[in-house]
Amino acid sequence: MSLHDQSSPEFARGSYHEASRSVQLDRRDFLKVLGGGVLVCLTPTSAWTQESGRTFGGHELPKDVSAWLHIAAVGKVTVFTGKVEVGQNIRTSLAQQVAEELRVPFDSITMVMGDTDLTPWDMGTFGSRTTPTMGPQLRTMAAAARETLVQMAAQRWQVDAATLTAADGKVTDSKQSRSLTYGELTRGEKLVKIVSSEERLTPVTDWKIAGTAVPKVGGRDFVTGAHKFPSDMVLPEMRFGAVLRPDGFNATLASLDTSAAEKLHGVQVVRDGDFVGVVAPDAYTAQHALSAIQAKWNVPAQPSNEGLYEYLKNNPESSGEESPQHVAGSVTQAIASADLQLENQYTVAYIAHAPLEPRAAVATWADGRLTVWTGTQRPFGVRDELVQAFHLPAAQVRVIHPDMGSGYGGKHTGEAAIEAARLSKAAGKPVKVIWTRQEEFTWAYLRPAGLIEIKAGARRDGTLVAWEHHNYNSGPAAIGTPYDVANQIIQYHPARSPLRQGSYRGLAATANHFARESHMDALAHAAGLDPLAFRLKNISDTRLRAVLQAAAEKFGWGREKSTPGRGFGMACGTDKGGYIATCAEVGIDPASRKVRIRRIVEAWESGAIVNPDGLRNQVMGAIVQSIGGALFEQILFANGRILNPHFAQYRLPRFSDVPRIEVVLLERKDIPSAGAGETGIVGLAPAVANAIFAATGTRLRSMPMAPLHKEQHASSAQFHS
């Protein structure tokens, strides 16, 4: 199918992913940094494999390296990758895969991640790409390293390498009952091995460390408070910065009086065009100084929630470049001759990522070189932003990512990093900037709102014959139907969003699944078929059938009939290599129309499982997070202002919203592992919508389905049909 998936709407038009590969590997002196041992680099260019086995002094290493791995003289293994840990547990799951291939104990591995000076260039951590791409790459390197060590032992003993085995950090010659630890083998060596992705990997069925529930690396530091998040970073002499925000989007500064702020002890006001910031000796004074500034802004008139969806439909992105349309057969003809025809619109609101740790950065300049610690899913992307902002060569900027208080697709950009760097440059001291919650709600970007129109036709026996799906603005992720339909038109229509929008966990897969699966449910009811039977009739994809049947079985689908007070609904789908089916039970108070999700069963399959505990945690978390967007999360805005930029007004899922959740993991050891951080989020909203319909006969077609009113603070949300 020709639909292309764009990982991030905000950046889709640019070719940012190729923006910079300017890491000068040859400028690094590995000898100095790593002090000997064996270094393995992975490059997709196989020409380099010919040259493996060179010693590392002086000469140039390949530029196009995606990861590297080092075995020190003491046998310690360090893996360098540009990916970042944000709670999705890849620091653990990637190390497991390295330990597996290298045949070393899990705890001999250290992962160095997301540091633009130490790790190879990486596009960023999003799109569920780490497990399917970085996983195999690290495994390949580790396997190559193991082979190298075996060769080294063979040479030393003058025996055939095939007679030796590697296990538990040692190479063993069982015939002679002798062995050498990796540390003994690498001592005094300075060996570089360049490999491409052609190594033989350990079959999943033989996994001993990968595939098991290894506890999270550094878990203890999270329960003792010892872990340093980006906002916890402290440097000597560090100052605190804060930035003056306009009264609305697209505002221009009309007048400014900073005299009161400047009188405060130790405060420096920094102004550069419409950028106004303060630097102060402590966080309290910085906020104090900010509120002492008198500013007037001109805010132009701008759209609001009112009429948003018509606006998105009527304001295509001006580039005029429509996304590719997927067409098969003739939808018009097929619908005209179908027994059942059904047409409807669905909408999703803008929602905020609201990571619990807001944007934060600490910046410092030394000898013209800029170093920034910040929370971001794209350290190299943020480095490029800094390079541009300060007109520096890439080698003069270092971005370091301490494992952060998550992002969910919301921290691809480097706003706080640039602000901290700007203020630090002016102050001549390190500066920390932490966004307030209100800033995070207002000045970060949002998950796109969208309008989806679906037209479908089916035969009386439930065979789908036509499917037309148009998505305005929300995005193309998972827009293609996984059902067997001969006649299709599927298209994403980018629009001029009135609010800043960007990536979000699962992207538009949530919106497209909400619309598609609600529509499928409506078709099933129109055809007088059970929603499970109707779906199965139209699915030939065995993986999708398997999760659907597994979820239905665990849930006890069909055992009980929905009543006005209790509804059952289901949904299924696939995206980014993950297969999902969700069954929901909702309780509804017929008098107040209050709805409560009582039970969720979600079946999940994403190929071979690297860490079942981490996977369960991700799928569970995605289910919980999706409750918000399904029922009550939405950004309200008017005239360039966000109207609900506080947790008191923008409700996130809390303990009391959580139903009984059962996650059923299916494993396919024969299929390479897909990423699992995102797609678990797509099933709940349509399953709940379908359950509400089953109970009440009311079809809710807008997310959130039960927006809260100001006065409501109950855990149950009310819906209005």
Shortest gap between Cβ of 622 and ligand FES (angstroms)? 13
When asked if residue 87 is in the footprint of ligand FES (CB under 6 A), the reply is yes
227 binds, options ligand FES, other proteins, none, Cβ within 5 to 8 A by partner type: other proteins
Nearest distance from C-beta of residue 689 to ligand FES, angstroms: 27
Residues 682 and 448: their CA atoms lie apart, in Å, by 15
Using rule CB under 8 A, residue 434 touches other proteins: yes
HSE-up of residue 366 (Cα within 13 Å, Cβ side):
7
358 binds, among other proteins, ligand FES, none (CB under 5 to 8 A by kind): other proteins
The residue within the footprint of ligand FES, chosen from 406, 413, 473, 501 (CB under 6 A), is: 406
419: contact with other proteins by CB under 8 A: no
Q: Contacting other proteins (CB under 8 A), which of 272, 655, 709, 710? A: 655
**Bridge-partner residues for 378, per DSSP?**
none
Binding of other proteins at residue 652 (CB under 8 A)? yes
Beta strands in 387-524 (DSSP E): 397-400, 431-434, 450-458, 464-472, 487-493
- Residue 79's contacts (CB-CB under 8 Å, 6 or more residues apart) are 67, 68, 69, 70, 94, 95, 98, 109, 110, 111, 112, 138, 141
The nearest distance, CB 356 to other proteins, in angstroms, is 5
If binding is defined by CB under 8 A, does position 656 make contact with other proteins?
Answer: yes
Please tell me whether residue 283 binds other proteins under the rule CB under 8 A.
yes
Give buried/exposed letters for 361-390 (b at 16+ CB in 10 A, else e): bbbbbeeeebbbbbbbbbbbbbbbbbbebb
Q: Does 301 bind ligand FES (CB under 6 A)?
A: no
Mask for 39-78, x = binds ligand FES (CB under 6 A): ----------------------------------------
Cβ distance 676 to 131 under 8 Å?
yes
Whichever of 336 and 356 has its CB closer to ligand FES, that residue is: 356
Binding mask of the shown chain, residues 574 to 613, with x at each position contacting other proteins by CB under 8 A: ---------------------------------------x
In angstroms, rounded to a whole number, what is the distance separating the alpha carbons of residues 371 and 355? 24
Decide: 250 and 300 in contact? Cβ < 8 Å. yes
Q: At its nearest, how many Å lie between other proteins and the CB of residue 114?
A: 14
124 binds ligand FES (CB under 6 A): no
Q: Cα separation of 372 and 418, whole Å? A: 9
Min. distance of Cβ 571 from other proteins in angstroms? 18
How far apart are the C-alpha atoms of 658 and 631, rounded to whole Å? 12
Among 16, 157, 229, 390, binds other proteins (CB under 8 A): 229
Between residues 11 and 408, which has the closer beta carbon with respect to other proteins?
408
Residue 356 is a binding residue for ligand FES (CB under 6 A) = yes
In 415-530, alpha helices (H): 415-427, 437-443, 509-527
Q: Given candidates 356, 369, 540, 558, which one binds other proteins under the rule CB under 8 A?
A: 356
For tokens 């055939």, name the residue. Answer: 160
Q: Which two tokens stand for residue 653?
A: 């899922």
Residues between 578 and 607 that touch ligand FES (CB under 6 A): none
Decide: is 254 part of the binding site for ligand FES (CB under 6 A).
no
In the list 59, 178, 296, 654, the residue contacting other proteins (rule: CB under 8 A) is 654
- # of chain residues touching other proteins (CB under 8 A): 56
- Asked if 231 touches other proteins (CB under 8 A), the answer is yes
Binding mask 361-400 for ligand FES (x = CB under 6 A): ----------------------------------------
Residue from 107, 206, 282, 321 touching other proteins (CB under 8 A): that is 282
Angle at 85 between CA 625 and CA 572, to 5 degrees: 35
Closer residue to other proteins (CB): 43 or 606: 606
Residue 341's H or E segment, with its range, is: strand 340-348
Candidates 638, 658, 665, 671: give the one binding other proteins (CB under 8 A). Answer: 658
Tokens of 309: 């969806």
64-67: list long-range contacts, CB under 8 Å, 24+ apart: 64/21, 65/25, 65/41, 65/120, 66/42, 66/120, 66/122, 66/134, 66/137, 67/41, 67/42, 67/119, 67/120, 67/134, 67/137, 67/138, 67/141
Helix axes 684-696, 509-527, angle to 10 degrees: 30
Stretch that binds other proteins, among 151-159, 180-188, 242-250, 431-439 (CB under 8 A): 431-439
DSSP-assigned letters across all residues of 244-299: PPPSSTT-EEEEEE-HHHHHSTT-EEEEETTEEEEEESSHHHHHHHHHH-EEEEE-
- How far the first Cα of the chain sits from its last, in Å, is 37
Interface region with other proteins, contact rule CB under 8 A, candidates 98-106, 352-360, 449-457, 509-517: 352-360
Phi, psi of 278 (to 5 degrees): -125, 150
Interaction mask 699-718, other proteins, x per CB under 8 A: ----------------x---
Cβ-proximal residues to 700 (8 Å cutoff; 6+ apart), any chain: 689, 692, 693, 706, 719, 721
Return the range that interacts with other proteins (CB under 8 A); candidates 75-83, 158-166, 350-358, 557-565.
350-358
Report if residue 620 touches other proteins, rule: CB under 8 A: yes
Nearer to other proteins, 272 or 655 (CB): 655
- Contact residues: other proteins, CB under 8 A: 86-89, 215-216, 219-220, 222-229, 231-232, 234, 240, 282-284, 354-358, 403-406, 408, 434, 436-437, 613, 617-618, 620-625, 646-648, 652-656, 658, 661, 715
- Contact residues: ligand FES, CB under 6 A: 87, 356, 406
